[in-house]
Amino acid sequence: MHGSVTVHIDAPPAAVWALVSDVTRIGEYSPETFEAEWLGGATGPAVGARFRGHVKRNGRGPTYWAPCVVTACEPERVFEFAVGVRGKAVNTWRYELEPSGTGTDVTESFRLTDTFVLRVYWRLLGWARGKTNQRGMQATLERMKAELEAA
């Protein structure tokens, strides 16, 4: 009920961090989340900061707003957020940055919360969703890489 993708970007961790932690720019990179906005007075990444992402599932629909909360925030190292309502995470997304040579290895990952319902879902349909997530994470990171390496 999880997956990850790692891409090397020839840019320093600070530059990569600026992209992965700015949720308002996710629409420039993600194949599914086409916009996001900070909520409740939040203006940037910090543990407990809330935002919502506007998602077009599978790039086709349905389209919906997903409530999120930042659960880990270590500048230039880790940015993580949980998706769910009323404090009940369904899915957690994470970016980990690791300096590598003159650049940064970036790992994007997801992990579904271990509940009975989600275990059943994963066994029946989740394998297909997992492949979609893998492709989406790869596309997101490759788009970030293209921008950062062109700068």
User: Domain residue spans in the chain?
Assistant: 2-150
Strand partners, 7: 106
The pLDDT of residue 5 is: 98
Which region holds residue 121: left if phi is over 0, alpha if psi is between -120 and 50, else beta? alpha
Strand partners, 52: 37, 67
The pLDDT of residue 86 is: 77
Could you tell me the two tokens for 128? Answer: 């297909």
CATH 3.30.470.30 for the 2-150 domain, yes or no: no
The pLDDT of residue 67 is: 96
Q: Is 9 exposed, middle or buried (0-12, 13-18, 19+ CB in 10 A)?
A: buried
Instruction: State the pTM of this model.
Output: 0.94
